[in-house]
Copies of this chain bind each other. A is one copy, B any other.
Amino acid sequence: MRYAALGGGKRLRPLLVVEVAALFGRGLTETDKGSALAGAALEFIHCYSLVHDDLPAMDDDDLRRGQPTVHKAFDEATAILAGDALLTMAFDVIAEDAVHADAAVRLRLSRELARASGLGGMAGGQMLDLESENRDRTEREIRTLQAMKTGALIRYACRAGAILADAPEDDVTRMTRFGETIGLAFQLADDLLDVEATPETVGKATGKDAAAGKATLIGLLGISETRTELAQLMAEARTLLAPYGERAAALAAIAAYVADRKS
């Protein structure tokens, strides 16, 4: 579990939780680590999904963040159980008192985390993704599966930050749209990296989607149109952050990083 969760990574999802909470007045401080706890719970989910995704029966990856994947460093049974226990621990951590004084808010965060991660979110999206191998999918189907597989947790990160900072529901909705926007941008940037980058720069195998016959947006849209859509999404993200002015500078920087990242 430590190897899977503490082995580096971008920490994009917890960073979003923390920065969105800070935007609405609940910054991470010496005495209030609530947003970091919620971010950790979310990162456990993300890390478990990588461990299980890398398994031989799934994507069969030997390398993750430039290091042996969990089933390579240990064994398959350990990787399955470590993933299961990380997933389960997320629901212990999100329930901690320090996340929010009101148990009803913690329960809301816990339940939304279950929905973002499960059948109607990430896990369901992974199943659709596996099924998409060597099979034609419409653009709409690919957008749906990617919104579930990748988008749901990034969307949740932004919602959770707003909810745990007691932001008004209008702002929770706006942050939800911000999360959806950069979640799709993240996926398009990922598609571009898979096509254009080398294993050395991204720390994992590339060209895997095409090799696996997976239906991707870039496969349908092409590189140029993918770049155009990415630019549109960035414009939309900036529009969504505009009402907050300079206070949203950190979130604007994260959005820009998501689109431009090299790994």
Contacts and interface: CB of A to CB of B under 8 A. Distances in A.
A63 interface: no
Given A123-B81, A123-B84, A118 B130 contact: no
Contact of A88 (B58, B81, B85, B119): B119
Interface residues of A, number: 40
Contacts of A113: 91
Interface string A75-116: 111101101110111111001000000011011001101110
A110 B85 contact: no
Q: How many copies does the complex hold?
A: 2
Contacts of A127: 78, 81, 85
A124 interface: yes
Contacts of A126: 81
Nearest to A124: B85
B106 A118 contact: no
| Central interface residue in A58, A81, A124, by most chain B CB within 10 Å | A81
Interface in A105-157: 106-107, 110-111, 113-115, 117-119, 123-124, 126-127, 130
B89 A118 contact: yes
Contacts of A182: none
A240 interface: no
A110 B91 contact: yes
Contacts of A92: 111, 114-115, 118
Given A107-B107, A110-B110, A114-B92, A84 B87 contact: yes
A49 B88 CA distance: 12
B107 A103 contact: yes
A12 B7 CA distance: 40
A10 to B, nearest CB: 22
Nearest to A49: B84
Interface of A: 1, 48-49, 52, 55, 57-58, 75-78, 80-81, 83-85, 87-92, 95, 103-104, 106-107, 110-111, 113-115, 117-119, 123-124, 126-127, 130
11 contacts: A49-B84, A57-B76, A58-B80, A81-B123, A81-B127, A88-B117, A88-B123, A89-B114, A90-B114, A91-B111, A110-B110
